């Protein structure tokens, strides 16, 4: 018989080995999936995980990796604060959308004025938009004890409808002959986040690296980081240590919302360029996978975001060159979280083989 025996302390080896094993298992099962779809599994895996980095066209694909990874890093870093403290913000997608709407609205309000102050104002508006949207589930949990998972998730659908309303109404381009969507901010010098488009560098990439450094210092060197870790490990001990649980919930929700809002602002002012009905690309949900794959550690999140960006870019190459369905790539990304959660059991439990049934 096989049984699980709880460890006295989490395994340090499996803490770091579990994500690597999850990636390997994802590749193996992904290869089986691609074979079932009629594709050569070895060619498909190589196309997704190798070609963006080392093929003859890698000079074009590598900058795209930065573009895809930046919003994932920003959102996942924000989520990691809450997840470490036991605050489960699942609605980062909605906060990402609100950040884009608020930031774009500020930029479009000044159109076509040219000023160095417009983009900084857009950054502030984007962060505040995401922060305000995250405060709704945060306040409801603190004041009424509601479940922030459900509230934040339901607010995503509200944000999606608000996005459609803005694309069709208040932010619609008046020169677009009635077509939905705002003006293209990438063509508005004072409202674009691009630093060097050819190199795939925009301000979102810069802020992503700043967020990693900020999170690392805060979580490892600041008293607030200690309170976050203590609250997640032992809420009762945290209260004895003087931590205000309600205030901690609001701070963690605020940080995650503000960073998600910044991710939305940089995306709409750069790679996307405009507010449209289908602006949201699921970054808020994918960032949850990135956060856990990176072990809620800032450096781990940076590496995990790079891997996930690889599946995005490699997946697009596979769809174009191998006619692979887009749903297959989404399933591959889902497998990564599934296997991570499955293998993570080994961090807290040992597998024991017994010769007789244990009652």
Beta pairing class for 194-196 and 201-202: antiparallel
Task: Say whether pTM exceeds 0.85.
Answer: yes
Residue 152 has pLDDT above 70, yes or no: yes
At 177 the pLDDT is 78
Mean pLDDT of the region 123-146: 97
Angle between helices 118-144 and 245-268 (to 10 degrees): 150
Residue 316 has pLDDT above 80, yes or no: yes
Mean pLDDT of the region 312-341: 92
Closest to 161 measured CA to CA, from 85, 98, 112: 98
Mean pLDDT of the region 120-128: 98
Confidence bin at 90 (pLDDT 50/70/90): very high
Residue spans of alpha helices (H) in the chain: 12-36, 41-49, 51-54, 58-85, 92-109, 118-144, 148-168, 203-221, 223-233, 235-240, 245-268, 283-293, 298-322, 326-343, 345-348
At 359 the pLDDT is 53
Mean pLDDT of the region 198-206: 88
- Both tokens of 186, joined, read 């990438």
Instruction: Map tokens 């989490």 to a residue.
Output: 10
Query: Percent of the chain scored above 70 by pLDDT?
Result: 99
């Amino acid at each position: 018989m096989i049984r699980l025996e709880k460890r006295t302390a989490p395994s340090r080896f499996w803490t770091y080995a579990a994500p690597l094993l999850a990636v390997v298992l994802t590749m193996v099962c992904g290869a089986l999936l691609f074979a079932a779809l009629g594709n050569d599994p070895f060619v498909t895996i190589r196309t997704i995980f190798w070609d963006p980095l080392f093929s003859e066209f890698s000079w074009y694909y590598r900058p795209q990796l930065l573009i895809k990874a930046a919003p994932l890093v920003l959102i996942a870093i924000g989520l990691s604060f809450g997840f470490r403290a036991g605050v489960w913000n699942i609605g980062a997608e909605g906060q990402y959308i609100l950040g884009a709407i608020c930031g774009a609205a500020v930029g479009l309000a000044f159109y076509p004025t040219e000023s160095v102050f417009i983009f900084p104002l857009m950054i502030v508006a984007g962060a505040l938009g995401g922060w305000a949207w995250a405060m709704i589930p945060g306040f409801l949990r603190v004041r009424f004890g509601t479940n922030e998972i459900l509230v934040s998730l339901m607010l995503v659908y509200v944000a999606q409808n608000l996005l459609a309303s803005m694309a069709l109404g208040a932010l619609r381009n008046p020169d677009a002959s009635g077509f939905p969507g705002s003006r293209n901010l990438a063509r508005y010098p004072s409202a674009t986040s691009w630093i060097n488009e050819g190199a795939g560098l925009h301000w979102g990439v810069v802020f992503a690296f700043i967020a990693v450094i900020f999170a690392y210092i805060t979580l490892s060197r600041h008293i607030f980081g200690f309170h976050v870790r203590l609250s997640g490990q032992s809420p009762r001990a945290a209260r004895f240590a003087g931590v205000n649980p309600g205030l901690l919930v609001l701070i963690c929700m605020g940080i995650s919302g503000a960073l998600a809002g910044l991710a939305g602002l940089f995306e709409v002012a750069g790679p996307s360029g405009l507010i449209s009905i289908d602006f949201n690309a699921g970054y808020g949900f994918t960032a949850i996978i990135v956060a856990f794959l990176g072990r809620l550690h800032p450096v781990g999140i940076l590496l995990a975001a790079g891997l996930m960006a690889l599946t995005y870019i490699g997946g697009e190459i596979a769809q174009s060159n191998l006619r692979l369905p887009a749903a297959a790539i989404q399933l591959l990304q889902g497998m990564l979280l599934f296997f991570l959660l499955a293998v993570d059991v080994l961090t807290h439990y040992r597998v024991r083989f017994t010769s007789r049934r244990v009652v």
